[in-house]
Amino acid sequence: MTLTLYGIPNCDTVKKARTWLTDHGHEFAFHDFKKHGLDAVVVRGWLAHTDWDVLVNRKGTTWRKLDDATRAAVLDQDSALALMLAQPSVIKRPVLAGAGVLQVGFTAGRYAALFEAAAAAPA
C-alpha cells in the first residue's frame, strides 16, 4: 500500500503519526504542505472521501487567527477548498492518504484498526 502522510513536520500530532507508522513498519512518503504546497486535485480527492468540515480544523490556531469575515465565508465544499489551498495550516493534521485510505487526524487506535482492516481485506 503506497501511503502519503500530509502535514507539517513541527506539528506534535504529525510527529506522533510518523513515529507510529515507522514503529509499525509501514512505509510512507511525507508531504510537508507548508513547504511543498497542496494541489487542488489532491484536496478534491480527499473531499471525495470525507466532508469538508472534517478537514477544516476549527479548533486550531490558524482558524482562530482568521478574521470573522473569512471564517463566516466558509459555508460549503468550494469555499472550504479555497481556504485550505490558501491556508494549508487550517487543515486538520495529519492526513494519511493512499490506495483507498483516507484518515484525518491521528490516534494510535484508529491507525491500528485501519491497518488491521487493510491486512484482512482480500487482495
Q: What is the DSSP letter of 73?
A: T
Distant-in-sequence, close-in-space partners of 102: CB < 8 Å, separation ≥ 6? 46, 49, 50, 95, 96
Quote the CA–CA distance of 88 and 117 in Å, as a whole number. Answer: 29
Q: Which three cell numbers stand for residue 50?
A: 470525507
Q: Which one is catalytic: 11, 42, 101, 114?
A: 11
38 is catalytic: no
Instruction: Report the C-alpha gap between 58 and 71 in whole angstroms.
Output: 9
**Active-site annotation, residues:** 11
